[in-house]
Amino acid sequence: MNDAMQCSRQKYWSEIDDQEKIRRLREEVKQLKRRFENIASIVDKLSDHDHADGKVVTPLHSRFGQAESDGSRGDGDEAYF
């Protein structure tokens, strides 16, 4: 009965099997990839900016939004990394 009353917590790295380690690492890689893409998009926009009346402006029509290969095979789960 004591087992039912214990608080649930996420297992430590040393307590999980290889499959769970792989799953966690894949999730971390996906999260970092999204963050990197967001930062890269901001840097790209800033690299193609200009100044007008003391403000930073970017062109309305630019190379942004063009589809690029991201290494995936269809769904977001099957990426080569």
Q: Are 79 and 71 in contact (CB under 8 A)?
A: yes
pLDDT tens column, 19-64: 999 999 999 999 999 999 999 988 887 887 888 888 888 777 655 5
Residue found by looking up tokens 């893409």 in the block: 37
Q: 2: pLDDT confidence band, cut at 50, 70 and 90?
A: low
Q: Are 45 and 64 in contact (CB under 8 A)?
A: yes
If you average pLDDT over every residue of the chain, what do you get?
78
- Read off the pTM: 0.54
